């Protein structure tokens, strides 16, 4: 199936421009360009051969070697070969993690660093935001 530019953009952004199987950095402009650096294709998490649809929640960007080697096997199996269980996060989800991490850090700072007063809350928020923004489930 051919995907228009808008659909390709939405799929590409889901993983912040990384292959959802091996996490290799992809090049947006190299969609379908076999042999090009960062070349990628749209991959069906649940293969069409086993009933997968063209719904956005089933479509992910994948480098061409990963997409072609996966064939009709499960995404879980394909990711496991690279040591991952989940897809990389989008920028939006990473930002959400930083916000929640900052909030959690502020609470932890208030509880654990109470003797430091407002400085403890601020330090906890900063540490929480850093940890939250770098968190990606494997």
- Per residue of the chain (138 residues), what is the pLDDT tens digit? 689 999 999 999 999 999 999 999 999 999 999 999 999 999 999 998 899 999 999 999 999 999 999 988 888 899 999 999 888 877 776 665 555 666 666 666 666 666 777 777 677 667 666 666 555 555
Give the C-alpha separation, 84 to 63, whole Å: 15
Cβ-Cβ contacts under 8 Å for 41 (sequence gap 6 or more): 31, 32, 61, 62, 64, 67
Where in the chain is CATH 1.10.30? 5-80
User: What CATH code would you report for 5-80?
Assistant: 1.10.30
Region of 19 please: left (phi>0), alpha (psi -120 to 50) or beta: beta
What φ, ψ does residue 8 adopt, rounded to 5°?
-60, -45
Contact (Cβ atoms closer than 8 angstroms) between residue 85 and residue 117: no
């Amino acid at each position: 199936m051919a995907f228009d530019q808008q659909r390709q953009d939405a799929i590409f952004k889901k993983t912040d421009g990384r292959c959802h199987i091996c996490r290799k950095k992809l090049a947006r402009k190299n969609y379908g360009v076999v042999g090009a650096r960062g070349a990628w294709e749209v991959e069906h998490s649940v293969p069409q051969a086993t009933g997968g649809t063209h719904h956005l929640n089933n479509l992910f960007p994948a480098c061409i070697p990963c997409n072609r080697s996966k064939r009709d096997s499960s995404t879980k199996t394909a990711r496991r070969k690279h040591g991952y269980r989940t897809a990389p996060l989008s920028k939006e989800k990473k930002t959400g993690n930083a916000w929640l991490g900052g909030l959690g850090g502020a609470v932890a700072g208030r509880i654990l660093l109470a003797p430091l007063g407002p400085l403890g809350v601020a330090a906890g928020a900063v540490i929480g935001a850093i940890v939250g923004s770098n968190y990606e489930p494997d």
